[in-house]
Amino acid sequence: MNNPTRESITLVTGVIGADTHIVGNRILSMALEEAGFKVVALGALTPADEFVKAAIETAADGIMVSSLYGQGELDCRGFRELCIEAGLDGILLYVGGNLVVGKQSWEDVEQRFQDLGFDRAFANATRAEDVIEQLDKDFAARAEAKK
């Protein structure tokens, strides 16, 4: 099997929980679309179960969760478990934004989100190009592992 093309990959994007900060998520969604990915954009104020429901309905390959209001760690607890319960065990999970309150070591924050089951965590103001580059690498690695 060859590496998947971007056009064959569907990603669900949205802003989790009570967060209304949509601009960064919209910029990322537009960049993903321009790069060739199929994007299902849920917008702001999205409960975790709505991400999962959208991923099932669209046969998504990945879910990209944004949070900018500092409560991402609380909102994302149990997210991977929701995916597993819904039969999405292997779905790629990314999270990014201003994920916690206060100044904290990014390495600690990143590790906490990986412990929550996210494959990647990105700090606020990460360039869309860097996220896309990582997506390409992660989907290529998954395709290679299936060989």
Query: Structural domain boundaries of the chain?
Result: 6-141
Residues tagged active-site: 19, 21
Considering the domain delimited by 6-141, tell me its CATH architecture.
3-Layer(aba) Sandwich (3.40)
Q: What are 109-116's contacts with CB under 8 Å, separation 24+?
A: 109/73, 112/73, 113/72, 113/73, 113/76, 116/73, 116/76, 116/77, 116/79, 116/80
* Measured CA distances, 45 to 3, 15, 67, 93 (Å): 34, 6, 10, 18
Ranges of the chain with pLDDT below 50? 1-2
The DSSP symbol for 127 reads -
Report the chain's mean pLDDT, rounded to a whole number.
95
Q: For residue range 33-63, list pLDDT tens digits in order.
A: 999 999 999 999 999 999 999 999 999 999 9
Q: According to the model, what pLDDT value does residue 3 have?
A: 60
Q: According to the model, what pLDDT value does residue 12 have?
A: 99
Q: Cα 82 to the chain's mean position, in Å?
A: 14
Q: For residue range 102-112, list pLDDT tens digits in order.
A: 989 999 999 99
pTM (2 d.p.): 0.95
Instruction: Give every strand in the sheet of 62-67, ordered side by side.
Output: 38-41, 10-15, 62-67, 92-97, 120-123
